[in-house]
Amino acid sequence: MTPVSGRRLLLAVGLWVLLTVLAVGGSLVAVRLLAAGWAGGHRPDLAAAAVAEAYLTLLAALLVAFGGPSGLRDRLAFRYTSGADIALALAVWVLALIGGTLLTGALSPLLGQPQSNTVTLLRQPFDPAFVAIIVPTICLLAPACEELLFRGALFGWLRRLLPASVAILVTAAVFAGAHLLPALFPVLFVFGLGATWVRERTGSTLNSFAMHATQNTFAVAATYVVLSHGGPGGLT
């Protein structure tokens, strides 16, 4: 596997910020100029499109910074290893979900009642266009991009500099903190520990992606069930 350099990681993050500003900002300006009336009645659709654009620009930045699809495979380890490794990843996901939920519950008196951004998104009045954009984004695009960034680029770089245990801890902490959801930091941190361990153990971010996609799909389904029954939601 080709090592990850700090220069490429910084390039990816810088390109992501630039492309996101250009893409999302350009889209909002274009909608305001060309379809202001439509936009007023479709704010959830616009929000979903902005989230999708942010992740698409991250994917584009990673492709540029790490040398295209082959770079994602060789440098960021997005490749198939074995069915046993995927099964291991899913088993670790179950353990991380249980452990993270218990830890979040124990710390909720200090950190507050947990509620994820999935709840915020799915609580909006939405139409078929919203669902067609946001569900694939949350369940597939976001997990793929986040695994490539955190378990691929960040962990790949840290692993060159630090012992595995320290690199796993730091990656999990950065991953949890980047979500800007203090009440959910414990469950995100535990998930991050599990996903990064899977990345180290199997040598593949495709396996940690399997964990992440399962987690987000479970969160969407559970949040929908809770909201459809009038509950406040609170899953990650």
Tokens 């902490």 identify what position? 173
Tens of pLDDT, residue by residue over 10-29, are: 999 999 999 999 999 998 88
User: What mean pLDDT do residues 193-200 have?
Assistant: 98
pLDDT at 103 over 80: yes
Residue 44 makes CB contacts below 8 A (sequence gap 6+) with 124, 125, 126, 127, 130
Helices (H), 1-146: 6-34, 36-40, 43-66, 68-74, 83-111, 117-122, 128-136, 142-146
User: What mean pLDDT do residues 219-233 have?
Assistant: 71
* Residue boundaries of the structural domains of the chain: 6-228
The reported pLDDT for the residue numbered 201 is 97
The reported pLDDT for the residue numbered 223 is 79
CA distance 86 to 93: 10
